Amino acid sequence: MEDIESRNIANLEMETDKKKILEVKNLKTYFYTEEGVVKAVDGVSFNMYEDEVLGLVGETGCGKSVTALSILQLVRAPGEIEEGEVIFKNVDLLTLKKKKMRDYRGKDITMIFQDPLNSLNPVMTVGTQVKEVFELHQREEIYELLDQKMLEWKNKQNRIKELEKKLEDNETNQRLTKEEISDIKNEIEKLEEETRDRPTYRSILREKSRKILEEVGIPDPEEILERYPHELSGGMRQRVMISMALSCNPSILIADEPTTALDVTIQAQILDLMKDLKNEYKTSVLMITHDLGVIAEICDRVAVMYSGNIVEYATATNLFKNPRHPYTKGLISAIPTLDKKKKELDTIRGSVPNLIYPPEGCRFHPRCDYRLEVCDKVRPLLTQIGESYFVACHLFDPQYKDSPKYEWGKEELERTRKI
């Protein structure tokens, strides 16, 4: 069992010329509740490549968010990361000390959350919260910038003094023409205007925050900086969240259902914004969502999760063109469209399995229409079946080619349908 799994992980390479930026290997996060151990993430592996969007899709409670939180090690109390590796730029993040890990958070790997109202601190102004990121991760840069600005400022001040001296000299020897005098006066005025405020640490912070807010399309950022989160609209809040996440130019942005809590029109805006920013900042994005529409719109690669496992991992175009795993098939056919206005929507029968006592073998087998006899006995592993295409299903495993199909009894069908 063990060596099969390791083989499986080693093989998980996509054919691409892009550089691998994040590698998640066999990640397991369990929650130790009073009811038992909830295996929320049970051996998840995937890779992220530079300048690409990876979509992580699945039903509610399949472990998408926990996977994301595990990458940043933000899993809350009863949850613990059991094993696995999260390799970012040749460093295994899971072996890092807490202090070291903090430097990665918010700087190299950032995250935006589902509910922008609750994710912003209600008693702090937007400005304070945006500035905090700069203060945490760009202190040195800001001081450097400050030195530079101070130098410029001093130069300008010296220049003013020089020009003023020139004017004074002129009063005694009258060497300058009228035009020259007015030119000098204009320049002095301009320089004085520019040097009115001495650059300070705070003014630079402010300038930086203003810029980043402008970047995410917030009109009148000066004013927004003084506001509290509850005074903004939902879309605005999410923009503020995005600005905070992008402020340190991160390598990876994890977006945990960023559009779920928003109106449809705002959703489209935010998605467009994310697309633009991704191209501008060259950031890889891990997009977590249950909305296949979002995936189709923005993602380059897709990993489909079911009950704590990745069941299918491929490029977005391939996956939508020809989904292999029965679960993915079900998901895609469950999207309501106009031309299949049938009596009943296609749904996957049954519900998400309990994660404390997950079904034996393939976790999808109690709901699967293509179930084989082996499905409830052997757990399928993610294996390559085509170019950049991985799927965890016995249907595509040559080893079980001859395994007979499981016949669903009528009673069984009825029971699962009811639930």
Residues that bind another protein (CB under 8 A): 31, 33-35, 38, 40, 72, 74, 76-79, 102-107, 110-111, 113, 115, 118-124, 132-133, 136-137, 228, 230, 241, 244, 353-354, 357, 419
Q: Considering the complex, state which of residue 61 and residue 156 has its C-beta at the smaller distance from another protein.
A: 61
- Structure tokens of 32? 């130790």
Write down the least CB distance from residue 78 to another protein, Å.
7
Write out the H or E segment, with its range, that includes residue 133: helix 126-137
Write down the least CB distance from residue 400 to another protein, Å.
25
Structural contact between residues 239 and 267, judged by C-beta atoms closer than 8 angstroms: no
Q: Could you tell me which of 138, 134, 164, 163 has the C-alpha nearest to residue 225? A: 134
Write down the least CB distance from residue 223 to another protein, Å.
15
Write down the least CB distance from residue 179 to another protein, Å.
52
Structural contact between residues 257 and 24, judged by C-beta atoms closer than 8 angstroms: no
Q: Considering the complex, state which of residue 232 and residue 295 has its C-beta at the smaller distance from another protein.
A: 232
Q: Considering the complex, state which of residue 118 and residue 347 has its C-beta at the smaller distance from another protein.
A: 118
Q: Considering the complex, state which of residue 108 and residue 300 has its C-beta at the smaller distance from another protein.
A: 108
Q: Considering the complex, state which of residue 166 and residue 349 has its C-beta at the smaller distance from another protein.
A: 349
Q: Considering the complex, state which of residue 33 and residue 322 has its C-beta at the smaller distance from another protein.
A: 33
Q: Considering the complex, state which of residue 94 and residue 381 has its C-beta at the smaller distance from another protein.
A: 94
Distance CA 285, CA 366 (A): 33
Distance CA 240, CA 295 (A): 23
Structural contact between residues 101 and 179, judged by C-beta atoms closer than 8 angstroms: no
Q: Considering the complex, state which of residue 36 and residue 386 has its C-beta at the smaller distance from another protein.
A: 36
Q: Give the Cα-Cα-Cα angle 43, 46, 326 (nearest 5 degrees).
A: 75
Write down the least CB distance from residue 194 to another protein, Å.
33
Structural contact between residues 276 and 333, judged by C-beta atoms closer than 8 angstroms: no
Q: Give the Cα-Cα-Cα angle 197, 242, 265 (nearest 5 degrees).
A: 120
Write down the least CB distance from residue 77 to another protein, Å.
8
Q: Could you tell me which of 75, 72, 140 has the C-alpha nearest to residue 106? A: 72
Q: Which residues are CB-neighbours of 403 under 8 A, at least 6 positions away? A: 372, 373, 374, 394
> Would you say how long the chain is, in residues?
419
Write down the least CB distance from residue 212 to another protein, Å.
14
Write down the least CB distance from residue 376 to another protein, Å.
13
Residue carrying the six token digits 């079900």: 330
Q: Helix, strand or coil for residue 209?
A: helix
Count of Cβ atoms closer than 10 Å to residue 394 Cβ? 24
Write down the least CB distance from residue 104 to another protein, Å.
7
Q: Considering the complex, state which of residue 22 and residue 292 has its C-beta at the smaller distance from another protein.
A: 22
Among positive and negative, which fits the CA dihedral 390, 315, 297, 64?
Answer: positive
